[in-house]
Amino acid sequence: MEDKKKELITLLKENEVIKFGKFTLSSGKESDYYVDMKRAVTDPEILSKVAEIISEKIEGLGVDKVAGPALGAVPIATAISLTAKLPLLMIRKEKKGYGTSKLIEGDLEEGDSVVLVEDVTTTGKSLLKAIDAIENNKGIVKRAFVVVDRSEGALENFKNKGIELEPLLSIEDFQ
């Protein structure tokens, strides 16, 4: 597994996913680096590597579904769905005001065991919202994975929620 982690770091570096400089994040906060995960999740080689790593980690856990919040995690969840042969759930940020008005796209049955994935976490707020959506619809979140954790509180927030968040990489892997 350590070799695959090194391969993933190399792929992310080669594709300039982690950029250093001065950046303003969506929260308005200033940062010395930017994690451009959209660049990563649109690359088939990176997606394949992430799907391979997470699929191996969840093998034998009795997982029924793989889920990802829109937008960044959907390609990752889709790649894992294809690799692990698990049905896919997509979690919207909010219910749409037309059509079926669903917050979760895909078939979540009561008691389904779900693995949640995310592209990048800071505090983990969007992923925690996705967990609430799954739990409110009677699904059970087994574990959560993130490709890159910015090391700004997500792990602690998940620990407080009682769910293990496993980063494949943290920002320290690039410094």
Average of per-residue pLDDT across 131-153: 94
- Any known ligand binding at 39? no
* Domains present along the chain, CATH in parentheses: 37-174 (3.40.50.2020)
Residue 118 assigned ligand-binding role: yes
Residue 125 labeled ligand binder: yes
What are the tens digits of pLDDT across the range 87-137?
A: 999 999 776 555 555 789 999 999 999 999 999 998 898 899 999 999 999
Instruction: Give yes or no for a contact between 84 and 115, defined as CB atoms under 8 angstroms apart.
Output: no
> What mean pLDDT do residues 148-172 have?
93
Cα separation of 105 and 92, whole Å?
A: 8
Residue the block writes with tokens 């925690």: 128
122 is known to lie in a ligand binding site:
yes
Q: Kindly report the pTM of this predicted structure.
A: 0.92
Smallest CA-to-CA distance from 8 within 170, 169, 175 is with: 169
- Please write the tens of the pLDDT for every residue from 19-56: 999 998 777 888 999 999 999 999 999 999 999 999 99
Is 123 labelled as part of a ligand binding site? yes
